[in-house]
Amino acid sequence: MKYFLVGYMACGKTRRGREMAAELGIRFVDLDAYIVDRERRSIPEIFAAAGEAGFRKLETRYLQEVCELYGDFVMSTGGGAPCFNNNMQYMNAQGHTIFINTPVDTIVERLIRGKQKRPIVSKLNDDEIYDFVCRHLEERLPYYKQAKEEVK
């Protein structure tokens, strides 16, 4: 079975994905790490060179590549992956999607603690991060809600 964990950045997809894969005895794939490995460039470098549209094309290509190459796995997707190129419909057709629905305050706290690792919020102050997350999450929630399962 293919399991896809979706949700906003810093919601816990990677940690939960590793735990779930270990529990099930199957492969764990972090889609962003897979992209970095295949492209030999960091996500910020890809964004700088190709823009968001270019990154999203690569993201879709590698999502499909992982599905073709591997049987059973647990994948943590990037926060935007379900929102572009019909990726959410593709993941739902390929396996079981799980929305990790983490409270906004928890996400914001995690982003503030690790904001240097997240270029999208690194230049924002704490209040701006909160406002950004609320606005951005509202845009992405309709995609996340298409998951077959939701966990808190």
Q: 40-49: long-range contacts (C-beta < 8 A, 24 or more apart)?
A: 43/78, 44/119, 47/119
Q: Looking at the predicted structure, is the pLDDT value of residue 117 above 80? A: no
Q: Tell me which DSSP letter residue 117 carries.
A: G
Q: Looking at the predicted structure, is the pLDDT value of residue 143 above 80? A: yes
User: Tens of pLDDT along 52-87?
Assistant: 899 999 999 999 999 999 999 999 999 999 999 999
Residue for token digits 């994948």?
75
Q: Looking at the predicted structure, is the pLDDT value of residue 116 above 80? A: no
d(CA 60, CA 62): 6
Closest C-alpha to 99, from 152, 38, 22: 152
Average pLDDT over residues 12-35: 98
In which region does residue 67 sit, left (phi positive, over 0), alpha (psi from -120 to 50) or beta (all else)?
alpha
d(CA 81, CA 52): 11
- Between 1.20.20.10, 3.40.50.300, 3.40.50.150, 3.40.50.1220, what CATH number should domain 2-151 receive? 3.40.50.300
For the chain, list the strands marked E by DSSP: 2-6, 27-30, 73-76, 96-100, 149-151
